[in-house]
Amino acid sequence: MTHSSTRRASPTRRRLLGLTALAALAVAVASVGLAGCSSDSTSAGRRFRPAEDGVLTVATAYIPAPAFWMPNFQTYAGFEAGLAYALADRLDLAEVRVVQVPFADIVAGDLGGADLAISTLTPTAEREDHLDFTSAYVDAPPAVLVRDGTTASDAQDLKDLRWGVVEVSTLTEVVRDRIRPEAEPVELADRTAELDALARGRVDAVLLDLPVAQGIATSSPSTYDVAGQLSGSEHLAVALPAGSPNLEAVDSAVRALRSNGTVDRLANRWLGGTGGKVRLIRVAD
């Protein structure tokens, strides 16, 4: 065996580190400078082609929807309205036009000529037959909306509550199969009836998508409160007509808005905070 040595070589190491640091700094400066000087904000991939030049046409089902779509003179305010304006900006479109389309039509793939739909839509296999969905813009696990002052912090507390459910909602299964309340849930016609029953004390709790529950509680803080969220992988996404060539562009823009904090800022402004601030109540899957 022969031997070699590795000198401690402090001066060499210092020179190497210096050189590398200099090169790194130069590349960083060049990258940020070049990236910052770029006026084009679109990502790699296909460009967005709107139905009407310079205009992002957005379909939504419910106007006004507290905390989501609220008319404000010629424009709209709210979580999803803010998302629509941010998307238009990201896609280099100067204007947003909003069209109201019945929810049943949207999920059937008819967006009323709009480029896309933003309407608290959760992707499901059935809906994917008629629509293309982007990645999530916000997570939407089931959340427990209660009357202000009602508390529930664990699975047993949830069982003890009187629940209101809408028979056609997918969340009804969650109430029956995961929460398994002691008392038979009260069946109600729709979400409006649910909220009314909750406010009047006919039921103690209803289950909604987390952002929706947050929006309602933020809009009426003296009436409603979000007691907690259950685990779940549901989310809200932007929908486009099936086969739309704009899917990639909108999908990239949604990811960018999540990544750069736009969605969190909107959630803080309109939903009272991001979903992570809501307590997780552990119940069996």
**Comparison of 105 and 248: residue with beta carbon closer to other proteins:** 248
Out of 152, 212, 253, 283, the residue judged to bind other proteins by CB under 8 A: 253
| 40 touching other proteins, by CB under 8 A | yes
**Comparison of 12 and 100: residue with beta carbon closer to other proteins:** 12
Single out the residue of 48, 131, 153, 51 nearest to residue 99, CA to CA: 51
Phi, psi of 34 (to 5 degrees): -65, -45
Out of 54, 113, 201, 261, the residue judged to bind other proteins by CB under 8 A: 261
Least separation in angstroms between residue 202's CB and other proteins is 32
Q: Site residues for other proteins, window 120-179 (CB under 8 A)?
A: 123, 133, 135-136, 139
Least separation in angstroms between residue 136's CB and other proteins is 6
Burial of 155 (0-12, 13-18, 19+ CB in 10 A): middle
| 6 touching other proteins, by CB under 8 A | yes
Token pair of 112 as six digits: 């009323």
3-state secondary structure of 235: strand
Contact 216, 148 (CB under 8 A): no
- In the chain, the largest separation of any two C-alpha atoms, in whole Å, equals 89
**Comparison of 37 and 168: residue with beta carbon closer to other proteins:** 37
| 7 touching other proteins, by CB under 8 A | yes
Token pair of 25 as six digits: 């700094």
Out of 119, 120, 229, 252, the residue judged to bind other proteins by CB under 8 A: 252
Token pair of 231 as six digits: 């685990």
CA-to-CA distance for 164 and 224, rounded, in angstroms? 14
Site string for other proteins, 85-114 (x = CB under 8 A): -----x------------------------
**Comparison of 213 and 254: residue with beta carbon closer to other proteins:** 254
Contact 142, 208 (CB under 8 A): yes
The alpha carbon of 186 is separated from its chain's Cα centroid by a whole number of angstroms, namely 29
Amino acid at 90: R
Cis bond before residue 50 (omega within 30° of 0): no
Stretch that binds other proteins, among 153-161, 206-214, 259-267, 271-279 (CB under 8 A): 259-267
Contact 49, 252 (CB under 8 A): no
| 19 touching other proteins, by CB under 8 A | yes
| 260 touching other proteins, by CB under 8 A | yes
Query: Would you tell me which residues interact with other proteins (CB under 8 A)?
Result: 1-9, 12-13, 16-17, 19-21, 23-25, 27-38, 40-47, 90, 123, 133, 135-136, 139, 233-235, 248-249, 251-261, 285
